[in-house]
Amino acid sequence: MVAPHDLLELTCGAPGHGGFVIARHEGRAVFVRGALPGETVRARVTEVKKSYARASAVEVLEASPHRVPEACAAAAAGAGCCDLTFADPAYQRELKASVLREQLQRIGGFAPDAFGAGRDPAVVPVSDGPVAGWRHRARLVADGAGRLGQHVHRGDAVVVAPCAQLPAALTELAADLRAEPGTEVALVLDDAGAAHAAVPARRGRPAQVLAGDALAEYRVGARSWRIPVGGFWQAHRDAAARYAQSVAAYTGRYGGEPGRAWDLYGGAGVLAGALVDEGFAVDVVETSGGAIAAGKQTLAGEPVTFHRGDVASRLGGLPSPSVVVLDPPRTGAGAAVMAAIAATAPRAIVHVGCDPAAFARDVGAACENGYRLAALDACDAFPGTHHLEAFAVLVPGREDRRGR
């Protein structure tokens, strides 16, 4: 029997979705954090379930050639921030591509040989920027002494140590600040070069600015947005521009003559701006009033209409689209929303997903509703972690997910 705190010697296999590799012990799957495929490690069991256990590597007995010295001090101290900074960046991307491919097969219903040219789920750098210090917005939490840090992996304790994701300006700002224990603090290094920190607004309480201003400036192309410091924006400083470029390229190739487009889960309208630049009039659906207000200010005078509300409940009242772009939260859009989108018969559906499992489920649902996968792309928008951003273009037609 395996019990918490047991030490096991394990030979590690394939990567799994969630920042671990899969080993086996006495017939039970063990999800090992801090190890790479092919390594032999000594790992301490942290959790035991009926069909699997979780463990963390405490000693590497036989190392992968792709292992490098741990680059994140916070992760080395147990924080849940970075889970792949002990692997070289190119190999990190290989692992992510493997996970995306496995999720598309197991959850999306695609066969191993169903991917060809334009559909191979490779993961490429989001930009030519560095793989450390890429995060220009983050949320930290105050420990018992008021110092800002990050929660330990799968726990409430707080680690106060520099994270490899943060640029020096935010690391220094965090070190200078103090907050009431347990308080979450948002930090931003905006595109104007200004650093800000605030306790986000919550339950009717206004935001409390600790440094800088209440609003941060973000830029994509010639447009700029003013977003509350605690408001949503892409974490990687280059991600919003990269996503906008991808959406523009996909709609230009697959969208046909410009007409009406939907930008679902559209936030402040970054992707809507890319669609406008391609000649489309755009309906944005978003739940956040703050994001809509910022988007209306930036996109004033452009053919963009914002609709506040849940996507599932708002689709029925929108003009029929020729192109649909959706960037749902980590939980995905879901089968009902994907079916509703397909029922409007757009020429192209562009899905942007940050969770491989939910992304695969949504793509599979589109294929069940008369669409086929025309293009697949993914980028490493979260270096040093197991996370990625995936893009799928779906067009009308029968998808043979059994392979070619």
Q: Give CA torsion, residues 45, 47, 50, 53, to 10 deg.
A: -40
102 is in an annotated binding site: no
Among 52, 50, 49, 40, CA closest to 8: 40
Reading the block at residue 77, the tokens are 């101290």
Indicate the length of the chain as a whole number: 404
Residue 209's DSSP bridge partners are: 198
42 three-class SS: strand
103 is in an annotated binding site: no
DSSP letter, residue 382: S
SS (H, E, C) 251-285: HHHHCCCCCEEEEECCCCCHHHHHHHHCCCEEEEE
166 three-class SS: coil
Strand 40-48 and strand 7-11: the pairing is antiparallel
Strand 208-211 and strand 195-199: the pairing is antiparallel
CA dihedral over 382, 111, 396, 254, signed as positive or negative: positive
Reading the block at residue 255, the tokens are 């969208």
- Which residue spans within 229-370 are E strands per DSSP? 260-264, 281-286, 304-308, 323-326, 348-353
Determine contact, residues 255/347, Cβ cutoff 8 Å.
yes
327 is in an annotated binding site: yes
Catalytic residue among 72, 354, 367, 379: 354
Answer yes or no: 72 catalytic: no
Determine contact, residues 181/197, Cβ cutoff 8 Å.
no
278 is in an annotated binding site: no
Strand 148-151 and strand 158-159: the pairing is antiparallel
Residues annotated within the binding site are 234, 265, 286, 327
Provide the annotated active-site residues.
354
Binding-site residues for S-adenosyl-L-methionine sit at 234, 265, 286, 327
